[in-house]
Amino acid sequence: MPLSAEHKKQSKKKIIESAFNLFTEHGFENVSINQIMKNAGMTRGAFYAHFSSKQNLYKESISYSTLNSSLLKPKDNNLSDKEWVEQLLQEYLSAHHVKGASTTRCPLAFLTTDIALRDSTIRSTYSDIYVGMNKRMLDYTRSYSPCDKEKMLAITAMIIGGVAIGRALNDEALTQQVLDSCYTTATKLI
């Protein structure tokens, strides 16, 4: 009996989520298709029903994860644009996010060095996500700030870098200082 379209959709989503979690923890090269499928609770054969290669899955998992990033979630209409941006920055620059405990790990921060080692297709996907993030942040800040594209590029590079550096540090107090400094500086620049 053929599988329903909904079942196929849910299976693909499960594989993508499994892959993204493993890629952000171990990097592309250190994760096998077998590990991804085992983590998803599925067989290796199911992989090829949805993806042509591990690289294709990597690209799709990066794109999919972006939809769950706190910086790209829809605006809460109960908050002003300024309050919303401050809340987004607080969530993004949190110890919870840095530790990867959040279900909304940002591929821009969690995969920065891994992406640099990938082909142009993967790097283009990453670049598109970064451009989209900047556009959305600018859209929110334009209502209350003269922040321009150049400043926003610096702000987003700083907060992504802050999370990436925070992930590499083994000193929680220093990590918190980095995150707090990025938040304070970003809100001043905006």
For residues 139 and 113, state if they share a domain: yes
- List the CATH number of the domain containing 154: 1.10.357.10
Listed ranges 73-77, 108-112, 167-171; the one with the highest mean pLDDT: 167-171
**Residue of 7, 20, 15, 5 whose CA lies nearest to 41:** 15
Residues 156 and 71 in one domain: yes
Question: How far is 90 from 97, CA to CA, in rounded Å?
Answer: 10
List, for residues 55-70, the tens digit of each pLDDT value. 999 999 998 887 767 6
- State mean pLDDT over 31-57: 93
Distance CA 137, CA 155 (A): 10
User: Are residues 85 and 150 located together in one domain of the fold?
Assistant: yes
- Two structure tokens written together for 131: 């451009």
Residues 105, 73, 135, 84, CA torsion sign: negative
| Whether residues 140 and 172 fall in one domain | yes
**What is the pLDDT averaged over residues 155-171?**
95
Q: How confident is the model at residue 5 (pLDDT cuts 50, 70, 90)?
A: confident
| 79 shares its domain with 169 | yes
Instruction: Give the mean pLDDT of 69-77.
Output: 73
- Is there a single domain that holds both residue 17 and residue 87? no
**Residue 59 domain-assigned (yes or no):** no
pLDDT score at 70: 66
CATH number of the domain bearing residue 22: 1.10.10.60
Residue 60 lies in a domain: no
Give the CA dihedral 95, 157, 149, 123, nearest 10 degrees. Answer: -120
19 with 96, same domain: the answer is no
Quote the mean pLDDT of the chain. 90
How far is it, in rounded angstroms, from Cα 166 to Cα 185?
A: 16
Percent of the chain having pLDDT more than 70? 94
Its domain, for residue 128, covers: 67-189
Distance CA 149, CA 163 (A): 21
**Cα distance from N-terminal residue to C-terminal residue, the chain:** 57
Please check whether residues 95 and 135 belong to one and the same domain. yes
How high is the pLDDT of residue 67? 72
- The more confidently predicted of residues 102 and 76 is 76
Report the pLDDT value the prediction gives residue 103, as an integer from 0 to 100: 62
Is residue 36 domain-shared with residue 71, that is, in the same domain?
no
Rounded Cα distance between 74 and 67, Å, is 10
In this structure, are 99 and 143 located in the same domain? yes
Residue 190, helix vs strand vs coil: coil
pTM of this prediction?
Answer: 0.86
Q: What is the pLDDT of residues 77-107, one digit of tens each?
A: 899 989 999 999 999 999 999 998 656 788 8
Q: Which two tokens stand for residue 158?
A: 């700083």
Question: In the chain, how many domains are there?
Answer: 2
Residue 74 and residue 160 share a domain: yes
